[in-house]
Structure 1
Amino acid sequence: MREQILILRRNWMLIVSFALIGLISAGAISVLMPKTYTATSNLFVSTQNVETSAELQQGSVFSLNRVGSYVELVSMPQVLNPVIENLDLDMTPQELATKVKAGTSRNTVLIEIQAVDSSPQRAADIANGVVASLITSVADLERPTNGLPSPMRLTSVDTAQPPSSASSPKTPLNLALGLLYGLALGLVVAILRHVLDRHVRTEADLRKSTDLPLLGGITESTRHTSRPTILGGAGTEAFRQLRTNLEFAAVSQQMKSLVITSSQAGEGKSTVALNLALSIAQSGQRVILVDADLRLPSVSSATGLEGSVGLTTVLIGRTSLAEATQHWGTGGLSVLTSGPLPPNPTELLGSDAMQKLVKELEAEYDTVILDAPPVLPVADTAILTRHTDGILLVVGATRVSQHNLSKAVEQLSLVNANVVGAVLNRIPRSGPDANSAYLSDYGVTPLPVIRDNDGGPASPVAEAEAAIVRDSQNSRALSKG
C-alpha cells in the first residue's frame, strides 16, 4: 500500500495531466461530432380470428415465436426498399439498415423501431415508414395460400415524433468517459514509469544496489548552484553525524586519508568533501582538503582560494607543499587546490610522487580528505586507492541509477578498495522522496545575513565568525550589567 501511495505521490501531476488531456479530447470530440437524432416507434404483434381461450393461448405462443423473425426482417431490402422509394432517400438498403435498429424485450410481443438521422423530421419519417412497410411485408409473407387473410396482425402502438434534442453526441457521458480513460492511462503510465525507473531515490533503493553501510544522509541545498556550497543549519548537523559515523566505521583500523568520490558526475561529491573537511576541522583536528580531481576541479572556485598553484605544481616539483597549501577559515582546515590541469591526470595521480605526498600529508595532518573524480568515467579514483586508507562513496539521490551504483561498487572491489560506506546526498526537502529524519532543525538558530565590504553576502565562515563575536559581546555586556 505504501508503494502504491508513493507511485501516486511521485506521478500525481502526470496522472492529472492525462486526465485533463482525456477530458479536453472528449470535449473536442463532442463539439466536432455531428448531431444525430433518434426517433422511436413501437409495434404490437398478435394473432387474429381467435375465438376460444385455447386458441388465444396458442396464438400468444405463436406470436412470441414470430417476434424474433420480424425483428430480423426489419433490416431486409423487402422492408427497406419501399421506405427509400416513399421518402425519396438517396441511399441503398444497406446504408439505410445502418440507421434503423429493431429490438424486443424478452417474453413480450412488442417490437421497438429506432431510426437515427442528422435531421429530426427525417428520423421520425424513417421510423414511421419502416413500421408501415413491416406491417405490409408481414401481411404478405404470412398470407395463406387459400386466399384467407394472414393469421398475424402487426399494430402500430405509437407514431414516431421528431425528437426535440439530439441523441448524440452525449457530451456529459463523453466527458466522464474521457476523464476515466485519461485517469486509467495516466495510472498505467505512472506504474510503467515506476517499474522502469531504476534511479536511487531513497535509502531502500540504495540498499537494493549495494551492501555498503549508509553513514549519513544530506538534504539538498537551498542554494541552486552547480558549485560546491557550505551547508548550514540542518546540513551542518548532518555532517557532524557523518563525521561521528566515520569515526565508528574506522574504529578497528587507522584511517588518516579518505577519498571522497561518486559513481558519476553531478552527485555532489565535492560539496560533501568540503563540508566534511570543515566539520572535522571544527572538532579540533588538523585537516587538509586536497582537490585530486585533475579534470574538473571545483574546490578553488568554491572556497575563493588561489588555483594557479596546488597539487599538480607540488607533484612536478615546481612548488613545495608548504608554499602550495592555503588555510581557509579560522579552524584547522588547510586546502591544497588542484593547480593547473595536467595532460596526464591518471599517470600523475598514480606516480610515486603522489604516494610520497600522501604519506607526507598523513604525517603532518590528522585527517587528509581527497576530492577525487567519479569512478565510472575515469580510472583516477581506482589509482588513488593505492595510496589512501579508505573511500567514502557519495550517492546522489535521483542522480544515479541502481545499475551504475552497483557497477561503481563492483569496480572499486576489483581494485581491493576499502570502501568504508556510502552517504546519500541531495535528499529532497519536500515531495514524496523527502526523508523527515534528515530535515530536523533541532536547536539550530538561523544566522542573520552578514554583508561583506562590497555589499554582497559574506561566506558562511564569515557569517559564523561574526555571530560568535556578536554572542561574545552580548555576553560581556550582560555580565557588566
Structure 2
Amino acid sequence: MLIVSFALIGIIAAAAASLLMPKTYTATSSLFVSTQNVDTSAELQQGSAFALARVQSYVGLARKPQVLDPVIEDLGLNMSAQELAKNVQASTSRNTVLIDITATDSSPEMAADIANGVVASLIASVADLERPTNGLPSPVRLTSVDAAQPPSSAASPNTALNLMLGFLYGLAAGLIVAVLRHVLDRHVRTEADLRRSTNLPLLGGITETQVPRNSPSPAVLSGSGTDSFRRLRTNLEFAALGRQMRSLVITSSQSGEGKSTVALNLALSIAHSGQKVLLVDADLRLPSVANATGLEGSVGLTTVLIGRITLTEATQPWGSAGLSVLTSGPLPPNPTELLGSQAMEELVQKLETDYDVIIFDAPPVLPVADAAILTRHTDGVLLVVGATRVSQHNLSNSVEQLTLAKANVVGVVLNRIPRSGPDANTAYRSEYGAASLQPMDNDGAPASPVAEAEAAILRESRRGPSPEHAARRGTS
C-alpha cells in the first residue's frame, strides 16, 4: 500500500505541476555555411574544409551580444542580450555545415521571429567579420535554408513525460519508505516477530475483529470466533498438564492489546466446557468488565476486600453457561497495595475452593506493577500480545518483569491478527477466523446475541474437532 500510495502521489503531483507550469513554444531556423569565389575543384575542397572548420565558431557567435543586440532592437524586446541568450540555442551536427538556431518563448509567433532574427543577424555579423582587409567580399557565405514557423503546440510542459517521471519517482520513494519501514519497524506483527522477543509458547491466535466505533467495551465473539478460544482453552489444558492451574491472570504489555476481550471470551469458553468459572475484574484502575457485561459495578472486588459485603453478595451470574462475574467495584486510591494484601491472598484461596477456574483480568504489566503483584497469589499468567500494537522491546520488558516477579507465565496469545494485508498470518486467518461482534446482555434469553454465542461454543465443544481440523492437528 505504501508503494502504490507513493506512486499515485507522484502521478498526482506531476499532473498538478504540468497544469501549473507556464506553456513555452520552440521554433527552429536553419542556415547553411559555404564558401564563395571558388574556381577550381582544389579550391572547392579547400573551401569546404575551411567552412567545416568555421562552423563551431559561428555556433558560439550566435549567442553573443553582437548578434543578439540587433535582434532585440528590431523586435523591440524588453531584455538584455544575456537574458535573450538563455532563450536561444545554436547547434550543429558533427561533420556538417548546417547550423540550427532554436528560440523559446511564451508566444509561438515571437519564438519564430526570434529564431529568424538571430539567423539574419548571424549572417550579417559573419559577413562583416570574415570580410578581407583588401575590400573583397567574404569568402564565407551563410544562407538561410529553413525559416522558422510559429509552432502549433507547446514544447513545455511535456505532460506525458512528467506523468511518467512522477510515477517513477513516486514508485522509488515508496520502495524506499517500505524498505525502511520493514527494517526499522520493531512492532510485533507476526509469529516470527514474537519469537525475536520471547521463547514462551504461543497458545493461540485471535484474528482482528470489527469493534464498533467509540465503543471501548470488549464483546463476545460468535460464529467461527469461538473456535479460536476453544483451541486456546485446549492448549491451556496441555500447558497446565501435571500441575495445578486453578487461577489464571490475563494481562498484556500495555493498553489496547485486547486483554479484557480475551479474558471474557476465554472464561465463557471454559464455562461452556462444564467447569465452574469466575471472571474477576482485577483492573482497579481502568475496569471494563462491568461495562462489557452490563452488570452492576458499584460492588465487587474492592468492596469484598475491605469487608463491606461478602463474596456471595458481590458475585453476579452472567449468561446461561453458569459463568460468574466479580466486577472491580469502586476504584481504590491504592490498587497495588490492595492487590498485594493479605486479604487478597485469602480471597484467592477461597475462590480456588469454590470454583474450578478463576480468570483475573489484570492491568497491563509495563505501566503499573499490579499484574506482577497479583501473580504472587495465582497459579499462572497468560500474556496477551496485540499484533501491530506492541513493540518487540516492550514485549521483552514485560516478560522480563514477570520473570523477576517469579510469575508462572504459561504462554502468550497473539491477538488482533490482521484479517488481510502484508501483516496477516494466513495460518491463523484460516484457523482462528473471528466473526462479527455481538452486543452483550444479561437476560439469558435464547434469542439474544450472547445466548447465540454461548450456544455456538457449546455446540462446537460437544461436537469436537472436524475431520479437517483433526487432520491438521495430527499434521502439526
Give the TM bin, normalised by the shorter chain: 0.7 to 0.9
Please report how far the alpha carbon of residue 280 of structure 1 lies from its aligned counterpart in structure 2 after TM superposition: 1.6
With structure 1 as the length reference, what TM-score do the two structures score? Answer: 0.85
Corresponding residue to 2:275 among 268, 285, 295:
285
Contact kept? 1:447, 1:467, Cα under 8 Å: no
List alignment gaps of at least 5 residues for structure 2. Answer: 460-476
Please report how far the alpha carbon of residue 259 of structure 1 lies from its aligned counterpart in structure 2 after TM superposition: 0.7
Q: Which residue of 1 aligns with 2:375?
A: 385
Q: Secondary structure at the match of 1:318?
A: coil
What are the residue-to-residue correspondences of 1:451-470 with 2, within 5 Å? 458-461=448-451, 464=454
Q: Which residue of 1 aligns with 2:313?
A: 323
Asked if residue 18 in structure 1 is aligned to residue 6 in structure 2, the reply is: no
Distance 1:384 1:431, change over 3 A: same
Q: Secondary structure at the match of 1:43?
A: strand
Q: Which residue of 2 aligns with 1:121?
A: 109
Distance 1:79 1:463, change over 3 A: closer
Q: Secondary structure at the match of 2:372?
A: helix
**Residues of 1 paired with 2:390 and 2:19: CA distance?**
42
Contact kept? 1:22, 1:182, Cα under 8 Å: no
Distance 1:446 1:416, change over 3 A: closer
Asked if residue 204 in structure 1 is aligned to residue 192 in structure 2, the reply is: yes
Distance 1:12 1:36, change over 3 A: closer
Please report how far the alpha carbon of residue 427 of structure 1 lies from its aligned counterpart in structure 2 after TM superposition: 1.7
**Residues of 2 paired with 1:367 and 1:37: CA distance?**
83
Match of 2:44, as an amino acid?
A: L
Distance 1:416 1:222, change over 3 A: same
What are the residue-to-residue correspondences of 1:122-201 with 2, within 5 Å? 122-201=110-189
1:233-274 residue CA offsets vs partner (Å, 9 max, x unmatched)? 221110111111112222243322211001111111011011
Contact kept? 2:223, 2:453, Cα under 8 Å: no
Asked if residue 261 in structure 1 is aligned to residue 251 in structure 2, the reply is: yes
Asked which structure has the greater RCO (Cα within 8 Å, sep 6+), the reply is 2
Q: Which residue of 1 aligns with 2:87?
A: 99
**Residues of 2 paired with 1:400 and 1:450: CA distance?**
28
Please report how far the alpha carbon of residue 294 of structure 1 lies from its aligned counterpart in structure 2 after TM superposition: 0.8
With structure 2 as the length reference, what TM-score do the two structures score? Answer: 0.86
Contact kept? 1:26, 1:175, Cα under 8 Å: no
Distance 1:170 1:447, change over 3 A: closer
Q: Which residue of 2 aligns with 1:352?
A: 342
Match of 1:11, as an amino acid?
A: L
Please report how far the alpha carbon of residue 27 of structure 1 lies from its aligned counterpart in structure 2 after TM superposition: 4.0
**Residues of 1 paired with 2:232 and 2:163: CA distance?**
54
Match of 1:15, as an amino acid?
A: F
Please report how far the alpha carbon of residue 93 of structure 1 lies from its aligned counterpart in structure 2 after TM superposition: 0.9
Contact kept? 2:320, 2:444, Cα under 8 Å: no
**Residues of 2 paired with 1:145 and 1:197: CA distance?**
80
Please report how far the alpha carbon of residue 25 of structure 1 lies from its aligned counterpart in structure 2 after TM superposition: 1.6
RMSD: 3.2
Is 44-53 or 364-373 further displaced after alignment? 44-53
List alignment gaps of at least 5 residues for structure 1. Answer: 1-9, 470-481
Q: Secondary structure at the match of 1:102?
A: strand
Q: Which residue of 2 aligns with 1:245?
A: 235
Q: Which residue of 1 aligns with 2:388?
A: 398
Is 300-309 or 184-193 further displaced after alignment? 184-193
Distance 1:462 1:184, change over 3 A: closer
Q: Which residue of 2 aligns with 1:218?
A: 206
Corresponding residue to 1:434 among 424, 427, 446:
424
Q: Secondary structure at the match of 1:71?
A: helix
**Residues of 2 paired with 1:316 and 1:451: CA distance?**
29
Corresponding residue to 1:408 among 389, 398, 406:
398
Distance 1:465 1:87, change over 3 A: closer
**Residues of 1 paired with 2:13 and 2:433: CA distance?**
50
Distance 1:191 1:18, change over 3 A: farther
Instruction: Give identity over the alignment, percent.
Output: 71
Contact kept? 2:444, 2:451, Cα under 8 Å: no
Distance 1:447 1:123, change over 3 A: closer
Distance 1:207 1:343, change over 3 A: same
